[in-house]
Amino acid sequence: MNVPRQRRARDVVATIGPKEELSPVVATANTRGSISLSRSLSGSFCHKFGVSGLGMAFLRAPPRSGFIVHYSIFSILSQAFKGQTGWTPVWREPEPKPAYDAIVVGGGGHGLATAYYLAKNHGLTNVAVVEKGWIGSGNVGRNTTIIRSNYREHGNIPFYEKSLQLWEGLEQDINYNAMVSQRGVLNLFHSDAQRDAAARRGNAMRLNGVDAELLDRDGVRAIVPNLDFDNARFPISGGLLQRRGGTVRHDAVAWGYARAADQRGVDILQNCEVTGIRIDNGRVTGVETARGFIGAKKVGLACAGNSSRVAAMAGLRLPIESHVLQAFVTEGIKPLVPNVVTFGAGHFYISQSDKGGLVFGGSLDGYNSYAQRGNLPAVEEVMEEAVAVMPSAGRLRVLRSWGGIMDMSMDGSPIIDKTPVAGLYLNCGWCYGGFKATPASGFCFAHTMANDEPHELNAPYRLDRFATGNLLDEAGTGAQPNLH
Amino acid sequence: MRILCPYCGQRSNAEFSYLGDAAPVRPRDVRRATGESATGNAALREFSDYVYLRTNPPGLLREWWQHTGGCRAWLVVERNVTTHQIGAVVGARDGAGGTREMSR
C-alpha cells in the first residue's frame, strides 16, 4: 500500500516541484515590486536606509501647509549630521472637523490602510480615522507579523495574492520602511494524507498564479536543519513552501499608513472612542464620539475584536464572536529560523524577528473574550508544540506573551461589505489572519466605500453569505468560531 | 481560569470544552424552514440567525461548557468575558431555565 502512495506523492512533487519555473503571473508580480530590485543590490542596508529612494530626496509640497520630509538615505544622513534633532512628528494631531465625507472607525492597520487608499485611489481626502486609544494599539501591534497567500479556496486566493503584491510594493508606495522580508513561509506536513492536502493546496495556488513549491524531507532539511525530523509521533515528511511569503515589521505598517494617509489630508483622531452611530431614515449621518458628534456621509467600521460592539450601535447583529489569541517572543539569539515555519500536526507557527527573538503562536484559547490576555492551558499547548517541532527551542526563555482579540467569523473568512444601513460599511471577521490582509483589506474596503459596491476581490466576502449558504470555509469546521 | 464544576469541584479550564453563548434558542419547528412560502422564508431566516448570528457582548455572559476531561456533564457557566472572572456554574438542565425547548 505504501509504495504506490509514495509514488503518487512524488509525481505531485514533479508537478509543482522547486525546479519548475514560476508561472508568468508570479514573475510579473515579483519584478513589479521594486523591493526585489533593491534587494538585488544586496543586503538589507539598502532596504533599511532607503537607498531605493536614491535621487528622490526632496521636500515635497504637501496638500496643506508645512513641509513633508521624503524619507531617503539623504534624510537619514542629514539627520546624522544634525544629531537626529530635526525629526518631526509623522502625522498631525488635528481637532475633529464638524463633518467629513467619510469616517473610518478603527485606527488599526485595516482602518489606516482604508483611509490611505480612499485618499490615494479614490480622491477622497476629507476623511477621518477615529480610534478609541492610540493608533496601532490593537491587533496590528499584537500579531506574529506573517504575510502569505497560501490559501486553497477560490474566493480567498486572489484576495490574499493581491495583498501580497501590495506588500511587495508597499514601502515604495508609502515611502516608509516596513521591513517587508520575503523570507518564505514553510508549512510542514507529517503524513501521506497531509502531503496530498498540501499538494492540492499548492496546485490551487499555482493555478491562480501564486508561487508554491512542494518540498520533500531533504528539501525541508536543507532550509531548516534543526527541526525534529524523526519525531516518533509526528516525523516531518516534507513541506509546502511559499517563497514570496515572509514577515513585516507590524508596527511600522500602522505608522507608515498613518503617515501616508496624513500626508494626503486624512485626519487621524486618537482617543476618540465611538459611542454611537447616528442614523436618519436608514442612512448614516455621523458618529457620536468621546470628542463630540462628527458628521459623515459614509462610515466604515474596521474594529476587529470590537466589531460586534460597534455594529450593535447601528442595530446590527454580526456572525462574529470575539476570541483571545496569544503570541510569544523569546530572548534574542543568533539566526536560527530562516523563514516562517508552521507545524502541521497542531497549530503552531514560528519565525525569528530581526532583533533575534523567536516570535511564535498557536491556536485560540477557545472561549469568548475581550480581555487581551489569555490563560495558561493555551500557553502550555503552544510550548509543547514548540518543543515537539523544534526541541532546541526548549533551551530558550520566553520574554513576553500577550493576547489580542480576534473577530472570529462563522466560516473563518472575513466580511467586507455594505450593510443594511445606507452609507455604513463593514470590515470584520479577520479571525487570526488579519495582518497579512492589511493592504488588500484597505484597498477593497476603500473601493467598497467609495463606489458603494464591492471590488471583485472582496465580492465573496459578503455579509449575507451566511443566510444564503455561500460560505467560504477554508478549514471546513462549520459555524463554530473557536475551531477555525 | 478555573471552573467550579458542580459535580467534580474546581478544575482548570483545560478540562472543559467550549460551545459558546447559552442565550440562542433553537427555533421550535425546523420543518417550517423549507419551501418558498413567506412563512417558510421567515422560518429559514430565523434558523439561519440562530446558527450564525451572535450578540457577542462584553461583560457577563452565560455560556455552554462541557466538562469533557471530567464528568462530561454539560454546564451553564456565568463568566465575565472582559475579566475572565467565573460566576455561578450550574448543570445544563437547571441553567437552561426551562426556556430551551426539547426538540422531539
- The set of cell numbers assigned to A359 is 516570535
Average pLDDT over residues B89-100: 73
Using the predicted structure, report yes or no on whether residue A365 has a pLDDT greater than 90: yes
- Percent of chain A beyond pLDDT 70? 86
Q: Angle formed by the axes of helices A157-174 and A438-451, to 10°?
A: 100
pLDDT of residue A194: 97
Using an 8 Å CB-CB cutoff, list chain A residues near B40: none
pLDDT of residue B27: 85
Give the model confidence (pLDDT) of A236-286 as tens digits: 999 999 999 999 999 999 999 999 999 999 999 999 999 999 999 999 999
Q: What are phi and psi of A148, to 5 degrees?
A: -175, 165
Using the predicted structure, report yes or no on whether residue A21 has a pLDDT greater than 60: no
Alpha-helical regions (H) of A314-433? 376-389
Using an 8 Å CB-CB cutoff, list chain B residues near A370: 58, 81-82
pLDDT of residue B33: 60
Nearest CA in chain B to A370: B82
Using an 8 Å CB-CB cutoff, list chain A residues near B63: 367-368
pLDDT of residue B66: 98
pLDDT band at B44, cuts 50/70/90?
confident
Using an 8 Å CB-CB cutoff, list chain A residues near B18: 366-367, 482
pLDDT of residue B26: 87
Q: Tell me the sheet residues that pair with A214.
A: A240
CB contact under 8 A, A370 and B58: yes
Q: What are phi and psi of A102, to 5 degrees?
A: -150, 140
Q: Is A372 at the interface with chain B, CB within 8 A?
A: no
Nearest CA in chain B to A315: B55
Which of A52-56, A213-217, A333-337, B32-36 shows the lowest per-residue confidence on average (mean pLDDT)? A52-56
Average pLDDT over residues A98-111: 98
DSSP string for A2-37: HHHHHHHHHHHHHHT-TTSPPPHHHHHHHHHSHHHH
How far, in Å, CA of A54 to CA of A324, rounded? 43
Using the predicted structure, report yes or no on whether residue A51 has a pLDDT greater than 60: no
pLDDT band at B8, cuts 50/70/90?
very high
Non-local (6+) Cβ contacts of B2 within 8 A are: B10, B11, B12, B13, B86
pLDDT of residue A53: 37
pLDDT of residue B93: 87
How far, in Å, CA of A293 to CA of A286, rounded? 7
pLDDT of residue A454: 97
Q: Is A322 at the interface with chain B, CB within 8 A?
A: yes
User: Which residue from B49, B54, B82 is facing A371, i.e. has the nearest CB?
Assistant: B82
pLDDT of residue A275: 98
- The set of cell numbers assigned to A392 is 532546541
pLDDT of residue B31: 66
Averaged pLDDT of chain A: 88
Averaged pLDDT of chain B: 86
Q: Across the beta sheet with A185-189, what order do the strands follow?
A: A213-216, A238-242, A185-189, A340-343, A348-352, A357-368, A320-332, A398-409
Using the predicted structure, report yes or no on whether residue A47 has a pLDDT greater than 50: no
CB contact under 8 A, A368 and B20: yes
CB contact under 8 A, A371 and B20: no
pLDDT of residue B94: 83
Where would I find the beta strands (DSSP E) of A411-457? Answer: 415-418, 424-428
Maximum Cα–Cα distance across chain A = 74
> What is the least distance, in Å, from the CA of A250 to any CA of chain B?
25
How far, in Å, CA of A7 to CA of A287, rounded? 62
How far, in Å, CA of A107 to CA of A306, rounded? 12
**A129 backbone φψ class: left, alpha, beta (φ>0; ψ -120 to 50):** beta
User: Which residue from A367, A377, A466 is facing B52, i.e. has the nearest CB?
Assistant: A466
Nearest CA in chain B to A378: B14
Nearest CA in chain A to B11: A377
Using an 8 Å CB-CB cutoff, list chain A residues near B52: 319, 410, 466-467, 479
pLDDT of residue A24: 37
Give the model confidence (pLDDT) of A192-231 as tens digits: 999 999 999 999 999 999 999 999 999 999 999 999 999 9
Which of A111-115, A289-293, A480-484, B59-63 shows the lowest per-residue confidence on average (mean pLDDT)? A480-484
> What is the least distance, in Å, from the CA of B55 to any CA of chain A?
6
Using the predicted structure, report yes or no on whether residue A4 has a pLDDT greater than 70: no
- Percent of chain A beyond pLDDT 90? 83
Say what the ipTM of the complex is.
0.90
Using an 8 Å CB-CB cutoff, list chain A residues near B61: 368
First to last CA, chain A: 33
pLDDT of residue A63: 47
Using the predicted structure, report yes or no on whether residue A333 has a pLDDT greater than 50: yes
pLDDT band at B103, cuts 50/70/90?
very low
The model carries a pTM of 0.87
Using an 8 Å CB-CB cutoff, list chain B residues near A467: 45, 48, 52
Give the model confidence (pLDDT) of A422-468 as tens digits: 999 999 999 989 999 999 999 999 999 999 999 999 999 999 999 99
Q: Is B23 at the interface with chain A, CB within 8 A?
A: no
Grid cell 491556536 in the structure block, residue: A363
How far, in Å, CA of A298 to CA of A60, rounded? 30
Give the model confidence (pLDDT) of A372-407 as tens digits: 999 999 999 999 999 999 999 999 999 999 999 999
Average pLDDT over residues A123-134: 97
Beta carbon pairs, A and B, within 8 Å: 72
> Which of A58-67, A73-82, A138-147, B91-100 is modeled with the greatest confidence?
A138-147
